[in-house]
Amino acid sequence: MSLKGKIVFITGASAGIGAATALAFAAEGARLLLAARRAGKLAEVASAALERGAEAVHTISLDVRDRQAVQQAIGALPAEWAKIDVLVNNAGLSRGLEKLYQGNVEDWEEMIDTNVKGLLYVTRAVVPGMVERGRGHVVNLGSTAGELTYPNGAVYCATKAAERAINDGLRQDLLGTPIRVTTVDPGMVETDFSLVRFHGDQQRAAKVYQGIHALTPEDVAEVIVWAANRPEHVNIARVLLTPVQQANSLLFHRES
């Protein structure tokens, strides 16, 4: 299925997997609707996307945790941007790596509000239009953490388990419509993910990837675009991808 001219809405598009996904869809000639909290970074991605071949780019400064802001942003889209064809629910983060009984409650709330409630807010705002128009595809970003909990990561893992349940429930609820629903579940991807998790501690973040040839954001973006351009009668329900050196969210082989 050609993605040329299709409107693709990507949340968390200012860096990492979101930015790589924007550039990958740009190369297909898509029209990009990009949202993130960091307007400066988002503008840089938008400029790069136009150079890569995007038909057009429209940016929104948006925090998906704010339900009213999400509703207003989607409701106020110009007519030429309102008919979203592909939604990529990418916005998400992890904060902290502590035992549950020692965890920072503010970190928990940020993860739950972004990874679960933000996912729900954006989906609720966008999918009714897809159903009304009789076309659309929702791609949610999950994680290997959603299928196997690891020590000190209970709340983050719970948010990704929730993503998987929401993804599967949405696909069931849309049965009988042409709308497709996919979860893409990466393992270790080398982005600012760990830097965010450790509140900017670069040394601690770097240790996460030591001895591992991790996935790149471009690896994940390629899978997202592949799922989106399958024939219209084909729904890719779930893609689980890891580095060769990773078996699951607990088992890694690190080279010395």
Say how many C-beta atoms besides its own lie within 10 A of residue 155's C-beta: 23
99: CATH: 3.40.50.720
Checking if the pLDDT of 110 tops 90, the result is yes
Inside any domain, residue 39: yes
Checking if the pLDDT of 196 tops 90, the result is yes
Strand partners, 37: none
Per-residue pLDDT of 38-96, as tens digits, reads 999 999 999 999 999 999 999 999 999 999 999 999 999 999 999 999 999 999 999 99
Task: Find, among 90, 101, 71, the residue nearest to 14 by Cα.
Answer: 90
CA distance 18 to 24: 10
Active-site choice (121, 150, 156, 209): 156
For 148, the token pair is: 């196997």
Inside any domain, residue 87: yes
Per-residue pLDDT of 118-136, as tens digits, reads 999 999 999 999 999 999 9
Domain containing 34 equals 7-241
CA distance 252 to 169: 31
Q: Is 156 a catalytic residue?
A: yes
Inside any domain, residue 251: no
CA distance 57 to 111: 28
Q: Is the whole model's pTM more than 0.85, yes or no?
A: yes
Provide the domain count of the chain.
Answer: 1
Torsion sign over Cα 51, 52, 54, 59: negative
